[in-house]
Structure 1
Amino acid sequence: MIFSVRGSALLLLFCISLTGCSSETVATNDEGQGGMNMQGAAGRADEILDSVLKEIQPEVQWAHGPTTAGSCDVTRRRTVMTVVSAERRGNFLGLVDRFWRKSDYRMKAINNDVDFPAIYAQTRDGFGVSLRFGGKGQAFLQVDSPCVKKSDVADSTTSPNGPSYEGVYPLPRPNIRSPFWSAGAP
């Protein structure tokens, strides 16, 4: 009896260490994360995206990327339509990195690729956040929720600060020039 309890506890610890789960991200009841449903998680993701975009100065234009819903999670995306030059990507990444650290997000990974850099973090309430660069200096912000109670998910109520590109997928490459973000000098 003692061996099976001890063995079960060790197996549980081993499984948690393999999956990287913690009490912050594992739903322990059928209500999901603290009783939150997918619509609530989408709203929280919008808050996270709104806050980081507000911090980016000078302001960049952005449009909604697709929202996706899994069996118990939801992902919200924002695509930056302002060209961020190769010389300014470090500034952009640094600004977002500092804001996430100041917000007490846990940094998960940094990709220092010259052409396609990215940073990945996690909020204290278990939401994964990322900033990735793609072709032509286009930045992509994404928030992934932890597992929550299944529900319908409505479109975001936050209006983009430029063209909405409603019904357009994939979104076009960045097409807005900024005297700061698009500049060729660091």
Structure 2
Amino acid sequence: MRAVRTALAAVLAMAVTGCGFVGMSDDGGSEKGKVRKVSLQVAAEEADGIMLATMTSVKPELNWVHYAPTDEGCDSYTIDGKATGSATRRVAVMTIVSQERRGSLLGVIERHWKGAGYKITGVNRSKAFPAIYASTPEDFRLVAKVGKKGQFFFGITTPCFILSKVEDPKTTPNGTPFEGSVVPDPYVRSDFWSATTSIPSTSPTR
């Protein structure tokens, strides 16, 4: 799965790329700030925790799976003379979310992220492909976006930390992992999220 490089994965990587972010500095990303000297594996595990909290915040629950985790170096930026890297975790939702319920789901995500103390950094109000972007106080970058056939995708990219081997996520999805390089279309029906009746708007706002 780590080698998967689908076009959609590339889009998500561009949307939440963390390459060049300083590892949890206290001055907005300058190397002069205080930096957490932890490995990229530790940072990836923290990203997994943030992702799991995001997915489990949605009620009724979504059927979701991990896909295409990646990591890469952060150019010339170093911590104590050590090379650094950034990791990206991704989730694909297999629940069918109707057009009438997509804004509501984004609203749930927005409220969870705000409640966790994250900053909403951008909103794409496209009717077909809406998205919401956020960052944590430690500069982990998050995105929730809608792709083809209304499928939801989530991504989180870490700042730069000390480069290390990064294992695949150990958090357990509630969907069935898929094989191959192509993310399956959503196929799991939900009495709530798949319903075609509208509910009060909770569209994301800045």
Q: What TM-score comes out, normalization by structure 1 length? A: 0.83
DSSP-derived class of the 1:87 partner: helix
Q: 105, 108, 115: which is aligned to 2:121? A: 108
Provide the residue aligned with 1:169 in structure 2: 181
Amino acid at match of 1:143: I
CA distances 1:151-175 after superposition (whole Å, capped 9, x unpaired): 000011112202111x422211111
Q: What is the aligned partner in structure 2 of residue 97 from structure 1? A: 110
Contact 1:55–1:99 (8 Å) recurs in 2: yes
When residues 78 and 27 of structure 1 are mapped into structure 2, their CA distance, relative to the original with a 3 A threshold, is: farther
Whether 1:137 aligns to 2:150 is: yes
RMSD of the TM alignment (CA)? 2.0
The residue matched to 2:153 in structure 1 has which SS? strand
Unaligned runs of 5+ in 2: 1-19, 74-84, 199-206
- Of residues 128, 137, 140, the one that matches 1:124 is 137
Task: Specify whether residues 87 and 27 from structure 1 end up closer, same or farther in structure 2 by C-alpha distance, changes over 3 A only.
Answer: same
> How many angstroms does 1:146 deviate by?
0.5
Read off the aligned partner of 1:148 and give its amino acid letter: F
Structure richer in strand, relative to its length: 2
Q: Tell which structure's C-alpha radius of gyration is larger.
A: 1
What is the CA deviation profile of residues 33-55 of structure 1, one whole-angstrom value per residue up to 9, with x for unaligned ones?
Answer: 40121101110110010001111
The answer as to 2:181 corresponding to 1:178 is no
**Does the Cα contact within 8 Å between 1:25 and 1:33 map onto a contact in 2?**
no
Q: Which has the higher helix share?
A: 1
Distance change >3 Å, CA 83–CA 160, structure 1 → 2: same
CA distance in 1, matches of 2:122, 2:183: 26
Q: Which residue of 1 aligns with 2:49?
A: 47
User: In the alignment, is the contact (CA less than 8 A) between 1:33 and 1:147 conserved in 2?
Assistant: no
Q: 1:5 maps to which residue?
A: none
Residue 62 of structure 2: aligned partner:
60
Give the CA deviation at 1:77. 0.5
Q: Structure 1, unaligned stretches of length 5 or more?
A: 1-18
Question: Match for residue 148 of structure 1?
Answer: 161
Q: Which amino acid aligns with 1:135?
A: K
Distance 1:125 1:24, change over 3 A: farther
Whole-Å separation in 1 of the counterparts to 2:161 and 2:41 = 9
Query: Structure 1 residue 67: deviation in Å?
Result: 0.6
Other structure's SS at 2:99 match: coil
SS of 1:34's equivalent in the other structure is coil
Distance 1:33 1:65 in 2: 29
Residue 40 to residue 25, structure 1, CA distance change in 2 (3 Å): farther
Indicate the SS of the match to 1:107. strand
